[in-house]
């Protein structure tokens, strides 16, 4: 019944989600967007400034990437959402014809910009690029993402940071709710054709996701989930995690928050995480992920393998003829030795970043493929157990 | 008759060259090496340290690269020719299964290393990486390249630099000849099985090219060509150009030097150059080229087009929806606008270097393809005229 009531809010005709299989808490589904479908659970590589660092869209297609994340803050700053709208939207600008999710820009405002001032209106800040003053509001975050033309847009939320008191967490959660209401109103007004954004919509049928906040406080998460669902979004994200809390606390919060979200809508855990975090969060009912870890760590010479992380600069690999992960079928592992990759990394060759990124993204995407397959065969718990036994989170020496 | 006499010196059984077409001074040929054939005239991208910067071997194969150049100095320094030999040779180490030509290391010793001391024995220098002292001799340059396992090795030559007196140029040319004799002796001794290099030869059948020096002095070039040919090599390079002399002087030297070289052996103009330099040098009988310009300029945001060079950071491209070169069929031009590439370049994204490199290498390789086709159809002079009329050497604003 809840689902039926909510569906009256859903105006994004290009957007659908259906859960096709369940295995314990894990779900296997299909997300349909204006730019095609996404098999879930899915991982979205991060294309911060209109490119996934060190690789090309062709590489991403070869890897089987289904959906990218674009950072609204960075694109708004440079080259600007207006320019991208005039260029036909982000897909056309960056030559990526599959789905894109954009964040609201809030996370980067809270982590990169200077002189932040949060008011009920929005966030006033200075650009980290040129110091210019900007105001990001729930409404302008909607408009910017509509101009970018992503398939899924996120509402602006307030991020109180980790380690704040429960009352601070409550205040941020409640402001996030008021902002979410404004963001939804703005989104629906534009969708109804009542607002002019100065450029034709690059992606008619964009969907909008709400974000559940509340830190590590269960009552706050419960209140946030209920009120966000009451506004009615196309999907729901769990925000405010992976910000420094212990990993078992994160799993606990995901564990009680995901089931609070509508079962027939996609659930997105923002900014997470390590490979085992993905497995554990899928077990708790999450469908979508994004994280910079595979790409950033690749550039820092850290490769993910079925055993854990491998620091390619380590002297033990000086003459090692084995690929990074002997079980891996990626381009890098099929052609290059640890000795070669170590040489390229130490020499500072850009190609090292490319080859390491190809491997790490393959590892993440392959992990998701194996998760999806395990769910279909009712073998997710077995997969999870085996993954846990082999994969070590420990930092490599 | 000269040809027959010289053939007794050629021991590189995996190596052949035949000229298949002539059109004025231009030649169309086929070079056969242990790792496959090369249609000439050909351009070799530079893979300095075991990688062409910002791209992968897969990209190079897609581009139609036939042969790469590897820098002996850099590989000798890091990770070391011994390590590469134990890894099965440079081809296997860098996952490039087509032909490779290695330089002797001399050019980098003369341009990068510090505290150089040139004696009759060789060049003593300190590594630019760690300051360690090394001695590069004509014999050790042979051995290092045999350990790398390239298809074509170059002899060590002395580079007097531009602007030296004729007597200094003569002294360097004469020392280069004495070194070439020693290099050939060493090469033949190893080929005859009389020397142990400490590792099996990764590329049996490696060829060795001599280098004609003599600066911009015709009598020196004539003497060098005759004496180098008398030693007897598998191919002949023209060295010591593109070192700062005016372009018409370079053309003049190439113009009188190339015909001095044996007609049935490949002719290689080292370290050159701008696209029109390739066209003009083919007109004068050159078969092989290498240069860092397409890759280095790509990383600096300079794109080669049929009109000349385009500086992608220029404000005029801020919203330009056209590809870098509307006539180009490369991956970059088929997918990306100048506006997008400008954005990536200004943002410092590594992907900018990759996309620009793919375009510039395509431009160079496509120019060579068009040259080869024009020669076959007897239309090279027409091609050359049209190229000259459209292509401008001027630096972009």
B interface toward A at CB cutoff 8 Å?
A: 49-58, 74, 78-79, 83, 86-87, 93-95, 318-319, 321, 331, 335-337, 339-340, 342-344, 346-347, 349-355, 358
Contacts of A52 in chain B (CB under 8 A): 351
| Digit-coded pLDDT (tens) for B106-139 | 899 888 877 789 999 999 999 888 889 999 999 9
Q: Which of A47, A59, A79, A332 should we substitute to test contact with B (largest number of B Cβ atoms within 10 Å)?
A: A79
Burial bucket for residue A245 (CB in 10 Å: 0-12, 13-18, 19+): middle
Considering only the beta carbons, identify the residue of B56, B337, B340 that sits closest to A355. Answer: B56
β-pairing, B123-126 vs B114-118, is antiparallel
CATH code, residues B16-291 = 3.20.20.105
Residue-wise pLDDT tens digits, A287-343: 999 999 999 999 999 999 999 999 999 999 999 999 999 999 999 999 999 999 999
Instruction: Write down the pTM of the prediction.
Output: 0.96
Beta bridge partners of B218: none
**pLDDT digits over A93-132, tens only?**
999 999 999 999 989 988 887 778 999 999 999 988 888 9
The half-sphere exposure of A325 on its side-chain side, counting CA atoms within 13 A, is 24
In angstroms, the CA A81 to CA A148 distance is 6
DSSP string over A179-242? HHHHHHHHHHHHHTT----SS--SSTT-EEEEEE--TT-HHHHHHHHHHHHHH--SEEEE-S-S
pLDDT, residue A271, reads 96
* pLDDT class of A13 with cuts at 50, 70, 90: low
Interface of A with B (CB under 8 A): 49-58, 74, 78-79, 83, 86-87, 93-95, 318-319, 321, 331, 335-337, 339-340, 342-344, 346-347, 349-355
Q: What is the pLDDT of residue A100?
A: 98
Residue B71 near residue B136 (C-beta atoms within 8 A):
no
pLDDT-derived band at A20 (thresholds 50, 70, 90) equals very high
Mutate to test the interface with B, among A298, A319, A342, A347 (most CBs of B within 10 A): A347
A341-363 pLDDT per residue, tens? 999 999 999 999 999 999 999 99
Q: Are strands A123-126 and A114-118 parallel, antiparallel or unpaired?
A: antiparallel
Query: Is the pLDDT higher at A230 or at B199?
Result: A230
* Pairwise CB contact (< 8 Å): A343 & B78: yes
Q: What pLDDT, on the 0 to 100 scale, is given for residue A163?
A: 80
Question: B1 falls in which pLDDT band (50, 70, 90)?
Answer: very low
Residue A12 — pLDDT band, cuts 50, 70, 90?
low
Tell me what ipTM this predicted complex has.
0.95
Q: Do A340 and B86 touch (CB under 8 A)?
A: no
Instruction: State the burial class of residue B92 (Cβ atoms within 10 Å of its Cβ: 0-12, 13-18, 19+).
Output: middle
Q: Which of A55, A342, A349 sits opposite B53 (nearest CB)?
A: A349
Q: Which residues of B are catalytic?
A: 103, 290
CB contact under 8 A, B337 and A93: yes
The alpha-carbon gap from B300 to the nearest alpha carbon of chain A, in Å, equals: 14
Closest CA to A268 of A307, A300, A301, A241: A241
Q: Which residues on B lie below 8 Å from A83 (Cβ)?
A: 318-319, 339
Q: Are A258 and A249 contacting, i.e. CB atoms less than 8 angstroms apart?
A: no
Residue A121 CB partners (closer than 8 Å, separation 6+): A135, A137
Spatial separation of the C-alpha atoms in residues B328 and B330, rounded to whole Å: 6
State whether B351 and A93 contact (CB < 8 Å): no
Q: What percent of chain B has pLDDT over 90?
A: 86
The stretch B308-332 carries a mean pLDDT of 97
Q: Summarize pLDDT for A41-71 with one digit per residue, the tens.
A: 999 999 999 999 999 999 999 999 999 999 9
How far, in whole angstroms, is CA A205 from its chain's centroid? Answer: 20
Q: Is A393's pLDDT higher than 80? A: yes
Residues of B in contact with A54 (CB under 8 A): 350-351, 354
Is pLDDT of B5 > 60?
A: no
What are the pLDDT digits (tens) for B169-196? 999 999 999 999 999 999 999 988 878 8
What confidence score (pLDDT) does residue A8 get? 38
Which DSSP letter does residue A13 get? Answer: T
Please report, for chain B, the start and end positions of each structural domain, with discontinuous segments joined by +.
16-291, 298-390
**Of residues B79, B318, B344, nearest to A50 (C-beta):** B344
Instruction: Output the pLDDT for position B10.
Output: 44
Residue B61: pLDDT over 90? yes
pLDDT at A1: 33
Which of B70, B182, B192 shows the shortest CA–CA distance to B136? Answer: B182
Nearest CB partner across the interface for A78, out of B74, B95, B343: B343
Q: Which residues of A are catalytic?
A: 103, 290
- For residues A354 and A349, give the distance between their C-alpha atoms in angstroms, rounded to a whole number: 9
Write out chain B residues lying below 8 Å of A346, CB-based.
78
Distances (CA, A) of B86 to A132, B35, B89, B196, B362: 56, 19, 7, 14, 33
Residue of A nearest to B80 (CA): A343
pLDDT at B2: 37
CATH of A14-291, one of 3.20.20.105, 3.10.450.50, 3.30.390.10, 3.40.50.2300: 3.20.20.105
Q: Cβ A339–B50 below 8 Å, yes or no?
A: no
Chain-chain contact of A52 with B351 (C-beta, under 8 angstroms) = yes
Kindly report the nearest CA distance between residue B313 and chain A, in angstroms.
Answer: 13
Q: Tens digit of pLDDT for each residue in A154-184?
A: 999 998 877 889 999 999 999 999 999 999 9
Q: Cβ of B51 and A337 within 8 Å?
A: no
Q: How far apart are CA B290 and CA B273, in angstroms?
A: 7
Q: What pLDDT is stored for residue B284 in this prediction?
A: 98
Residues of B within 8 A of A78 (CB-CB) are 343, 346-347
Residue B238 and residue B284: Cα distance in Å, rounded?
Answer: 12
Query: What separation in angstroms does the CA of A21 have from each of A27, A345, A371, A380, B9?
Result: 6, 42, 12, 11, 72
Per-residue CA distances from A107 to A74, A161, B64 (Å): 11, 10, 43
User: Which residues in chain A have Cβ-Cβ distances shorter than 8 Å to B52?
Assistant: 351
pLDDT at A2: 37
* Averaged pLDDT of chain B: 94
Give the pLDDT of residue A17: 97
Q: How far apart are CA A108 and CA A123, in angstroms?
A: 11
């Amino acid at each position: 019944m809840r689902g039926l009531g909510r569906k009256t809010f859903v105006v994004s005709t290009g957007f659908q989600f259906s859960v096709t299989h369940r295995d314990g808490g894990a779900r296997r589904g299909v997300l349909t967007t204006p730019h095609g479908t996404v098999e879930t659970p899915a991982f979205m590589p991060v294309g911060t400034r209109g490119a996934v660092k060190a690789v090309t869209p062709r590489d991403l297609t070869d890897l089987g990437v289904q959906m990218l994340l674009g950072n609204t803050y960075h694109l708004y700053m440079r080259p600007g959402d207006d320019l991208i709208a005039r260029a036909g939207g982000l897909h056309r600008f960056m030559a990526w014809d599959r789905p894109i999710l954009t964040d609201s820009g809030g996370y980067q405002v809270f982590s990169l910009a200077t002189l932040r001032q949060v008011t009920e209106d929005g966030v006033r800040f200075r650009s980290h690029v040129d110091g210019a003053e900007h105001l990001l509001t729930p409404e302008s975050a909607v408009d910017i993402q509509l101009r970018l033309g992503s398939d899924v847009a996120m509402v602006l939320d307030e991020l109180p940071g980790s380690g704040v008191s429960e009352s601070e967490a409550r205040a941020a959660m409640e402001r996030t709710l008021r902002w979410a209401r404004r963001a939804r109103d703005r989104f629906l007004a534009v969708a109804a054709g009542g607002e002019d954004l100065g450029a034709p919509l690059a992606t008619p049928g964009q969907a909008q996701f709400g974000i559940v906040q509340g830190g590590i406080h269960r009552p706050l998460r419960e209140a946030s989930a209920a009120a966000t669902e009451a506004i009615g979004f196309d999907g729901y994200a769990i925000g405010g995690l992976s910000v420094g809390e212990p990993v078992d606390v994160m799993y606990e919060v995901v564990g009680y928050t995901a089931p609070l979200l509508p079962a027939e809508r996609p659930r997105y855990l923002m900014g997470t995480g390590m490979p085992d975090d993905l497995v554990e969060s899928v077990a708790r009912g999450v469908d979508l992920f994004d994280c910079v870890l595979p790409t950033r760590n690749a550039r820092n010479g850290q490769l993910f393998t079925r055993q854990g992380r491998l620091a390619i600069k380590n002297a033990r690999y000086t003459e090692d003829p084995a690929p990074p992960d002997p079980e891996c079928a990626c381009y890098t592992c099929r052609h290059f030795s640890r000795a070669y990759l170590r040489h390229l990394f130490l020499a500072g060759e850009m190609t090292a970043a490319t080859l390491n990124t190809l491997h790490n993204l393959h590892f993440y995407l392959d992990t998701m493929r194996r998760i999806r397959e395990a769910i279909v065969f009712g073998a997710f718990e077995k997969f999870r157990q085996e993954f846990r036994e082999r994969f070590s989170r420990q930092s490599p020496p």
